[in-house]
Copies of this chain bind each other. A is one copy, B any other.
Amino acid sequence: MQEFKMPTIDEIRNHPNPNYLEKNEIQRTLKDILDREEPHVESLVEDWVKKGVKNLYLVGCGGSRSIMEPGKYIMDRFSNLTTERYSAYEFVTRKPRAVGKGSIVVLASHSGETESVIEAAKFAKNMGAWTLGFTGKETSTLADSVDHCLTYDSPAANLSKLLMVYLVCTHLIIKLGDLEAGRDIMENLKKLPDTLMKIKEDFREKGLELAKEFKDTQMYYVVGSGLLAGVAYQFCICTLMEMQWLHAAPIHGSEFPHGPFEIVSPEVTMIFLLGTDESRMVTEKALKFAQRYGAKTIVFDTIEEDVHPMLTPFALGVMLQWFAYGLSIEREHPLAVRRYMGKVAY
């Protein structure tokens, strides 16, 4: 770790700014994970179910925390298995009493070296739980700390880990929950590599145009509900705050009229994420209110796209990434620039 030195404007501008939406990277990594890890997950789940599964814990930080939300959603919707998600130090300090034999603890870390996630893996193992890691680094402390590990090799880290969460949850649903719903989701997961390539092309222009329009905005509220609440959170903390040093706050659509809406005015910019799950009307209601009272609104909507209602977080991930990439160009602030992360001690 070095002493802190704020990067100069030139250092920021000249930082590399790779875009994983170019070429077929998202198709490649999702297909790779489906090919290698889907049968792996199926056999793990089969084995656990045979031995008796008591509950499921989904643990990660930041991006790796946000991807757990859709997993929790489909588990709640289509199974009776208790499913919890925690940021890693919350898990480690709270020490949930129900973690033990029969618990599956999923632990995600792109680097495989996130201290709190490693601690969470140790805690889970000590309690007798089964541990499953998701990581971008096959040789890493996390990989060494868990019973089993799923790996990817891609800069499209969140999409890769998101697919892994879906694989685990969907196989659990097939075995323990609503078989038909589980099979339907699994079938559509397998189409994702192609589905997303089309969405990516459909949305390129709109994403880049929006970035031109909003390049001077300094603060965003991002509203999502249901399957998309986690995506709203991810876009705030990972993209806007971490990668663009902009102010951001997620708002759950169901909470919008219970406090947050009092700040609606023409000075405020709000992003609304619309999917096709049961919560769509909740976010739509918030959007209409914000529009009626003059907030600047940006809408990302999957309704015109051919994506399964339970898989919209993938589509939104791609759509928002164009907007993020566009902002990085317009603002001359590459997505990979950091002032603190990986540079100074925390």
Contact = CB atoms under 8 A, between A and B. Distances in A.
A23 interface: no
A97 B178 contact: yes
Interface stretch (A132-140, A200-208, A278-286): A278-286
Given A77-B94, A93-B226, A238-B259, A340 B293 contact: yes
Given A93-B226, A237-B260, A289-B340, 14 more contacts: A55-B82, A61-B258, A77-B96, A78-B97, A82-B98, A87-B258, A93-B278, A94-B226, A97-B177, A219-B219, A242-B262, A257-B340, A261-B346, A262-B339
A90 B225 contact: yes
B249 A282 contact: no
Contact of A262 (B80, B282, B293, B338): B338
12 contacts: A55-B82, A79-B97, A80-B97, A87-B255, A89-B282, A90-B254, A93-B279, A93-B281, A114-B258, A238-B259, A241-B263, A257-B340
B262 A93 contact: no
A183 interface: no
Interface of A: 4, 55, 61-65, 73, 76-80, 82, 84, 87-90, 93-98, 114, 116, 177-178, 219, 225-226, 229, 236-238, 241-243, 245-255, 257-264, 277-279, 281-282, 285, 289, 293, 338-341, 346
A232 to B, nearest CB: 12
Given A97-B178, A254-B90, A263 B279 contact: no
A4 B249 CA distance: 26
Contact of A278 (B94, B247, B249, B253): B94
Count of chain copies = 2
A295 B80 CA distance: 45
A257 B94 contact: no
Contact of A249 (B177, B248, B252, B340): B248
